[in-house]
Amino acid sequence: MQLKTGRRGEASCVVGVPIFLQVIEMNILVCVKQVPDLEQMSIDCGSDGVPVIGEAAEFRMNRFDEFAVEAAVQLKEALTGVRIDVVSVGPEPALAVIKRAIGMGADQGVLLDTGDQPDAGPAEVARRIANHATSHRYDLIFTGSWSEDGMNGQVGPMAASLLNLPCATQVMALKLDEESRIAAVEREVEGGHRERLELRLPALIALQSGINHPRYPSLSNLLRANRQPVDIIAPSPDEKGIDPVVCLGLMRPPRTRAGRLLEGSLQAKAETFLSLLREKALIR
Amino acid sequence: MTNAADIIVVVDGTGGVLDPIAYEMLAFARRLNALAAGRVQMWVLGEASEGLAREAAREGGVDATALQCPGLSRYFSEAFIRILEPTLRAAAPAYVIAAHTSCGAEWAPAVAARLEAGCIGGIDGMGQEDGRIWFSKDRLGGKVKGRFVSDAATTVLTVQPGCFKFEGRPEGGGTGRVTRETITWESEQTRFSGVAPAPGGATSLTDATIIVAAGNGIGEEENLQWIHRLAERLPKAVVAGTRIVCDRGWLGYDRQVGVTGATVAPALYIACGISGASQHVMGMRGSGFVIAVNTDAQAPICAEADVCIAEDLRTFIPTVLEIYAKQLENEKGG
């Protein structure tokens, strides 16, 4: 089955290409995103009730992507011949998260620059990643489950779909059989149940948080990351502004409950807390 | 498809039952239908989904098509993509509606990408502005909601469970028409090999009268002691946590409340240092009374709580325990 990957009409990878190499070589692509540190971010209420987002004080790697980088680095440590590329779609400051991923153990980085449109939507991000992956031969593509700022979780399934790769999201366990080229995964579903799947490589896997414990970058790797150039690739005209979905504006989450804010001293609030429990006959 | 419709609700019928979300999606589709002209239709996918399509037609009064896919005993993404991409392409609806569950959130963006459709996920509301229909969903950890519009010919929408109430069959509406279609498919890249139960198994969370829950805002693992101490003092109280607290290993996953954890409905839910992202809120929305203790009075959890206490739990909980101990002491003395 072939799939057009873009308006250029190229065909992407064809499933079932025999692997002639006897030496096991595994190329992994890890997708990371830079996000604002939400805890440091001020959100004020504008005059018309529309939230006004303050400038982000700090940016960092999307927490969910750290699990993806760690999973790749663990494979690299367990097997021989593993090479990890890390890719980010974003503005130039996102180089910082690429460097962090290299600091964690990735080999090479590439920034798919979004230039004057820093907030590319999931469809555009997926297209950029798919176009990049088409010209490289990746056996595995890892992503996080979603980004903390956009909260979509669409890039992984979309990129897999454009590349005609099998895909599993919310993956909580991963076992690779490099000879049969099968990734046995467990995906976490509602209620914590685990669906077991076997994906034929190449495959895209979106990892669930908690699958591992992401490491801190090592000093030697960080030094290497600082020396090493990162490719910066500008969007081609047919990659720009392709997401038909746009954000009209923001709004405050509607209240489902009263959310009465207790007033007074710490002491008074603690007393009210206890009297509420007493009113509800939950304590004596 | 022979019965093209403008709004197609796609239901996973592989489990052999229609989950409540199927009817919630229908409720969503009808609200959308009030803004966007067209016909609403439901597709039920499964190995033998005709019974479910009949049920939907009867209970929901919707025209339903059973997409019977031999061998499709359980959802997995490749199967759904292979079945839905060509059928949806042929039907060319304005909207495709899926559930924002572990399944829908996986296949819907994948199918959208192939159809070059717009995709808006995790929708909890809708409206209209200047003639454009918008859909709202969480952004920035749930601190705000974005209103999204799509300009594509086809837009795939995934609907957050619990957000759209199904009110039964429309007044005066009868049973919907049922059609059946058999679709053969083959999975080339994926093999489904079973379901394992949640590690850790069932916990007492669902039976607890009071749940004291910890979120990322507790800051350090050592602050968890205050959560434990409060729970120890309250009758029939247990400790729970958000996903991030469990990911950090501070609590076991059997203590997790939320989409991939337990869904709880205690008489009292005390949310400590919990921001209130939808993944967590969906697991505790059924609680009788909710108290949020959070240094940030603007946190989204305050919109989901009956009472908000803007205090640091490291000082608040010790104060509560101290006063409570004194009250019990006085009672004994008196």
Report pLDDT for A37: 87
Query: By C-alpha distance, which of A111, A95, A91 is closest to A103?
Result: A95
A 163-182 residues with CB < 8 A to B: 165-170
* CATH fit for domain B7-182, picks 2.60.40.10, 3.40.50.620, 1.10.230.10, 3.20.20.80: 3.40.50.620
A283 occurs within a structural domain:
no
CATH 3.40.50.620 domain residues, chain B: 7-182
Is residue B262 within 8 angstroms of chain A, CB to CB? yes
A244 occurs within a structural domain:
no
How confident is the prediction along chain A (284 residues), in pLDDT tens digits per residue? Answer: 333 333 333 333 344 444 444 456 899 999 999 999 887 777 776 767 677 777 777 899 999 999 999 999 999 999 999 999 999 999 999 999 999 999 999 999 999 999 877 778 999 999 999 999 999 999 999 999 999 999 999 999 999 999 999 999 999 999 999 889 999 999 999 878 899 999 999 999 999 998 999 999 999 999 999 999 999 999 998 888 889 999 999 988 877 888 899 999 999 999 999 999 998 888 87
Is residue B311 within 8 angstroms of chain A, CB to CB? yes
Q: How many domains does chain A have?
A: 1
**Sheet of strand B7-12: strand arrangement:** A245-251, B144-150, B132-139, B118-129, B155-159, B95-99, B7-12, B40-46, B63-68, B178-182
Domain that holds residue A202: 26-239
Q: Which residues of A touch B261 (CB under 8 A)?
A: 191-192
Q: How far is A171 from chain B (nearest CA, A)?
A: 11
Q: Which residues contact B86 (CB under 8 A, 6 or more apart)?
A: none
How would DSSP label each residue in chain A? ---B-STT--B-PPTT-----SS--EEEEEE--EEE-GGG--EEEPTTS-EEEPPPS-EEE-HHHHHHHHHHHHHHHHSSSEEEEEEEEE-GGGHHHHHHHHHHT--EEEEEE-TT-----HHHHHHHHHHHHHTS--SEEEE-S--TTT----HHHHHHHHHT--EEEEEEEEEEETTTTEEEEEEE-GGG-EEEEEEESSEEEEEPTTSS-PPPPPHHHHHHHHHS--EEEPPPGGGTT---EEEEEEEPPPPSS--EEPPS-HHHHHHHHHHHHHHTTS--
Report pLDDT for A68: 98
CATH number of B204-333: 3.40.50.1220
pLDDT in tens, B46-93: 999 999 999 999 999 999 999 999 999 999 999 999 999 999 999 999
A17 occurs within a structural domain:
no
Residue numbers of chain B with a pLDDT score lower than 50: 1-4
Q: Which residues of A touch B103 (CB under 8 A)?
A: 189
A186 occurs within a structural domain:
yes
CATH number of the domain enclosing A185 = 3.40.50.620
> Which of B189, B257, B290 is the best residue to mutate to test the A interface, defined by the most A CB atoms within 10 Å of its own CB?
B189
Q: Which residue of B has its CA nearest to A181?
A: B189
Report pLDDT for B235: 85
Q: Which residues of B touch A283 (CB under 8 A)?
A: 234-235, 324
Q: Which residues of A touch B134 (CB under 8 A)?
A: 248
The partner residue sitting opposite B148, judged by closest CB among A157, A190, A245, is A245
Report pLDDT for A54: 75
pTM of the model: 0.86
The count of CB pairs under 8 A between chains A and B is: 292
The partner residue sitting opposite B144, judged by closest CB among A126, A198, A252, is A252
| CB pair distance less than 8 Å for B118 and A153 | no
| CB pair distance less than 8 Å for B141 and A38 | yes
Q: Which residue of A has its CA nearest to B257?
A: A191
Q: Which residues of A touch B198 (CB under 8 A)?
A: 191-194
Is residue B166 within 8 angstroms of chain A, CB to CB? no
Q: How far is A227 from chain B (nearest CA, A)?
A: 32
Report pLDDT for B203: 57
Pairing of strands B63-68, B178-182: parallel
